[in-house]
Structure 1
Amino acid sequence: MRVELSRFVAPEIIEDHRSAPVNALGYLRVMFEVDDIDDTIARLEKHGTRLVSTEVVQYEDVYRLCYVRGPEDILVGLAQSLR
């Protein structure tokens, strides 16, 4: 699997999405499934990544989920399957 992240240097920025909420319209985020969400967060925090909210939430008995802000405040979702 490959993911390409890019950044525009021109034209001038019209609107800054970096402070947009996680449910804002548009392609503002990417989500990855991880094996161990707690370990992944701990490793990412060493590189300056921070949780968007203060906790990882659980969706029914299916996933543990969270959003983090990465480089240039890119919004990244992390999901750990519980099945």
Structure 2
Amino acid sequence: MANNKLLRMDNVGIVVENLDDAISFFEEIGLKLEGRAMVEGEWAGRVTGLESQRVEIAMMVTPDGHSRLELSRFLTPPVISDHRTAPVNALGYLRVMFAVENIDELVSRLTERGAQLVGEMVQYGDSYRLCYIRGHEGLLIGLAEQLRTK
């Protein structure tokens, strides 16, 4: 057995076309912009296997400081595939789920910004109200509000 120890999940990466709009959308959900940078150079290509690349990234962090989204906009090489409209039963990474308060108010704000409810808002027993939305650029986002039990 290995002696290493998992410390945490650092971030989830999402590739977008418009970084400014993606930042604004995730700020509406409640994440904060932690920083922006250009990622390029020989080392970056060795990590991703893409050789020469120029990628503008924005790191978004949840209010508790424990979870991050790395939003990326590829300048080079060009994007070669688009999984944003894949249904929820597609193989591979699919969605990000956020725990929220006042899910109805948040969904209302997000739909005013163009997000669409995928199915419907449902209640899971007496534990959660949850839904999936298609947000900025069709990204699939899960929202869950834990219900207060007595």
**TM-score with structure 1 length normalisation?**
0.82
Deviation at 1:23, TM superposition (A): 3.0
The answer on whether the counterparts of 2:129 and 2:146 sit within 8 Å (CA) in structure 1 is: yes
- Within 2, Cα distance between the matches of 1:12 and 1:6? 11
Q: Which residue of 2 aligns with 1:51?
A: 117
State the structure with bigger RCO (CA 8 A, min sep 6), 1 or 2.
1
Aligned sequence identity (%):
63
Equivalences for residues 9-20 of structure 1 within 5 A: 10-14=77-81, 16-20=82-86
Match of 2:138 among 66, 69, 73: 73
Q: For structure 1, which runs of at least 5 residues remain unmatched after alignment? A: none
The CA RMSD over aligned residues, in Å, is 1.7
- Within 2, Cα distance between the matches of 1:7 and 1:28? 18
- Within 1, Cα distance between the matches of 2:143 and 2:73? 22
What letter is aligned with 2:89?
N
The structure with the largest alpha-carbon Rg is: 2
- Within 1, Cα distance between the matches of 2:128 and 2:69? 22
**TM-score with structure 2 length normalisation?**
0.49
Structure with the bigger percentage of strand: 2
What letter is aligned with 1:79?
A
- Within 2, Cα distance between the matches of 1:64 and 1:7? 33
Number of aligned residue pairs:
81
Deviation at 1:11, TM superposition (A): 4.4
